[in-house]
Amino acid sequence: MKKNILYLLALVMLVATSSCEDPKYVAPTADRQGLTSLTAIFTSGPFVNQEMARLEIGEEMPDRLVIPVPWFYPITSDDETTPYMNNVRVQAALAPNCFIEPALTILDLTQENQFTYTDAEGNKKNIIITGERVKSNACELLSFSLIEPAISGIIDKANKKVSLISADDLSAVMANYEISAHATISPDPSVEAVNINEPLTFTVTAHDGVTTAEYIVLKEVPEKIESGFAKESVEQLFNFDPVSNLGMPAFDQMVAPSLAALQGKLVICLADGNTPIYVNGLTGVKMGEINLGSAVAGNITNDEAENLLIVNNANGKEVINIYRTASVTEAPTLYHSYTNLSSFPVAKMKVIGNIDTDAIIMITHGGVAGVSDTNEYTVLEVKGGAVVNAELKQVSGCLWGPAPVNSTTVVAASTNIADGFFLSYYPSYSQLTWFNADGTAYASVASDSTGWGLNPNCLDSKRFNNVNYMALFVVSHFPAWGMGPQLYLYNVNDKSKFTGTSAWDLACLELANSAINWYQTGSYSVASGDVVIAPSADGFKLYIYYYDHNSQVVGAYVADCIKK
């Protein structure tokens, strides 16, 4: 009831604000005077209402404004944009009291569309708005892996260098690689053997046929920074709508997303009875379905050695089966089976460590709708590659509801149980809490920046380059109301640095994006999602993947620990 009252008050405030607005006021859409950008938007096809292209306009505005439309959309596909060029919605970012006549609506970007632009001083200028399909100038080497011996190259993007950690004879080797969409590479190591006993230069040529980049591939072990990841190496790999791009269920379908990453692939499980799919972990391009074998995919995650773990969403006292595999194409095998210690079902599974050596597997239990909330989670301790202990625990002063929306995700702070655990969830609690092994809170901070409209219940933890990291992904209850997802990553080596007033100003915060773009803005329904941290097995790359079902967005970040 309290939540409903808050929603009603928010709506009343929106209506009141709208009804009192001065109709003569021109709301600014740019930070300075003038016309600053033109945005082309699809009006048909699978990407309707999504941005097709954008033209940024400098201080000196030309008479002819040409919107650069990508040759393909998505750029990683082979789908040409020609069919959409003659029916494009164009929007302008205008400063106050500047306007375009006639009003911008649907344009044919294959034509020269004439307009009159008037600035804030009343000066007029005749302009032409048109479009032009352009081939990509991207020419990046994204991955490079030898086939035999099987060695994954470590790419130093800043210095355009690929390191192969090997003492083998590499005088005649072939390799798989990934480069920018529609680019080419020379020599092509996938069709002809190359000699990498000595440094070898590869040239990547962009789709435009003009722009090039040279990468040196050599045998060496790159030097690491002392700890963590290099801040300057952080890069967003992709951020897009999984419905139009991957064919995933729309926001109003009840699904419970969970994520895992291994061997350069992102696996997406929705716990809806369908086999999890996997996509290219660098580009997000759909590649197929995993080999599920006899496993039941209720929830998935990965450890720090690129092992995929799959668990069934067993109810209270039912058998929980955890399967494992190191490949999306190989059927998983049973890793551990036990009878659910809780009376409540499995809601989430998370892992920190390496299941072949030492790790902690976390099972968060969810409440049962109409029956009871819960505060229980199970800790499975892995030593020497086997589960040696399973303990059901409770969190003091907390109660959460059923998965996927009203439950939480409990994650370990490290592979040492004594270091405690983290949780955060909606609605009344909305606190990111570091709590002790006995279930008592060590410290808590606010985790919902709106105070009521977000769902901060997606967490994960992993170790990378001598640092224990914890990620918090905040999904949105109301993307249609302008509330979007948020991502935070923390260094949790030191409890004394878990200080601040909220999750977004903690002293241990190392990466944040509180303004992630999202693609479902029409309504709101199932506020579920997930986040996963995925260190590469070689220890040089750190990937973070997130999925917000309600806002319809899937995305990825990458960073490395290479000393520049």
- pLDDT tens digits, residue range 60-70? 899 999 999 99
> For 310-342, what is each residue's pLDDT tens digit?
999 999 999 999 999 999 999 999 999 999 999
Q: How many CB atoms lie within 10 A of CB 397?
A: 12
Same domain, 374 and 520: yes
H or E element that contains 309: strand 308-311
Burial (CB < 10 A; 0-12, 13-18, 19+), residue 312, is buried
CA distances from 167 to 511, 540, 542, 555 (A): 36, 19, 25, 36
User: Nearest Cα to 445, choosing from 458, 457, 429, 459?
Assistant: 429
Residue 5, domain member (yes or no): no
Same domain, 129 and 150: no
- Quote the mean pLDDT of the chain: 93
Q: For the residues 146-163, what does the mean pLDDT come to?
A: 94
Residue 351, domain member (yes or no): yes
Could you tell me what percentage of the chain is helix, strand and coil, using 3-state DSSP and rounding each to the nearest 5?
5, 45, 50
| Per-residue confidence band for 429, with pLDDT thresholds at 50, 70 and 90 | confident
Q: Is the pLDDT of residue 2 over 50?
A: no
**Degrees to nearest 5, angle at CA 52 with 48 and 55:** 145
Q: Is the pLDDT of residue 37 over 50?
A: yes
Q: What is the pLDDT of residue 1?
A: 36
Same domain, 296 and 213: no
CA distance 119 to 101: 12
> For 229-252, what is each residue's pLDDT tens digit?
999 999 999 999 999 999 999 999
CA distances from 518 to 63, 411, 423, 559 (A): 33, 26, 24, 22
> For 502-558, what is each residue's pLDDT tens digit?
999 999 999 999 999 999 999 999 999 999 999 999 999 999 999 999 999 999 999
User: Nearest Cα to 477, choosing from 510, 415, 509, 430?
Assistant: 430
- Are the C-beta atoms of residues 145 and 151 closer than 8 Å to each other? yes
Q: Look up residue 223 and give its two tokens.
A: 């030097």
Q: What is the pLDDT of residue 44?
A: 95
Residue 224, domain member (yes or no): no
Q: Is the pLDDT of residue 7 over 60?
A: no
Q: How many CB atoms lie within 10 A of CB 399?
A: 13
Q: What is the CATH number of the domain that holds 307?
A: 2.120.10.30
Q: What is the pLDDT of residue 193?
A: 97
Same domain, 342 and 279: yes
Residue 21, domain member (yes or no): no
Greater model confidence, 427 or 21: 427
The domain boundary residue, chosen from 79, 107, 134: 134
User: Is the backbone peptide bond immediately before 535 cis, with ω within 30 degrees of 0?
Assistant: no
Collect contacts of 50-56 with beta carbons under 8 A, ≥24 apart. 50/241, 50/244, 50/519, 52/81, 52/84, 52/88, 53/131
Q: For the residues 349-353, what does the mean pLDDT come to?
A: 98
81 phi and psi, to 5 degrees? -90, 0
DSSP 72: B
Same domain, 127 and 145: no
Same domain, 485 and 349: yes
Same domain, 48 and 167: no
CA distances from 163 to 283, 450, 540 (A): 22, 45, 11
Residue 164, domain member (yes or no): yes
Same domain, 441 and 407: yes
Q: What is the pLDDT of residue 33?
A: 54
DSSP 400: B
Q: For the residues 457-482, what does the mean pLDDT come to?
A: 98
Q: For the residues 67-90, what does the mean pLDDT come to?
A: 97
Greater model confidence, 467 or 13: 467
Q: What is the CATH number of the domain that holds 194?
A: 2.60.40.2340
Same domain, 101 and 193: no
| Per-residue confidence band for 296, with pLDDT thresholds at 50, 70 and 90 | very high
- Tally of domains within the chain: 3
Tokens 């086997």, residue?
Answer: 386
Residue 509, domain member (yes or no): yes
CA distance 81 to 53: 11
Residue 259, domain member (yes or no): yes
- Are the C-beta atoms of residues 242 and 220 closer than 8 Å to each other? no
Q: What is the CATH number of the domain that holds 83?
A: 2.60.40
CA distance 484 to 480: 9
DSSP for 210-265, written as a single string: S-EEEEEEEE--PPBPSSS--GGG-EEEEEE-HHHHH-PPPTTS----EEEEETTE
Same domain, 473 and 346: yes
The domain boundary residue, chosen from 134, 157, 190: 134
Same domain, 210 and 323: no
Residue 389, domain member (yes or no): yes
| Per-residue confidence band for 12, with pLDDT thresholds at 50, 70 and 90 | very low
Q: For the residues 444-464, what does the mean pLDDT come to?
A: 97
Q: For the residues 396-422, what does the mean pLDDT come to?
A: 97
CA distance 125 to 300: 58
In angstroms, how far is the first alpha carbon of the chain from the final one? 55
| Per-residue confidence band for 564, with pLDDT thresholds at 50, 70 and 90 | confident
User: Nearest Cα to 458, choosing from 379, 553, 382?
Assistant: 553
Domain housing 77: 30-134
Same domain, 239 and 209: no
The domain boundary residue, chosen from 134, 163, 184: 134
CA distance 316 to 337: 14
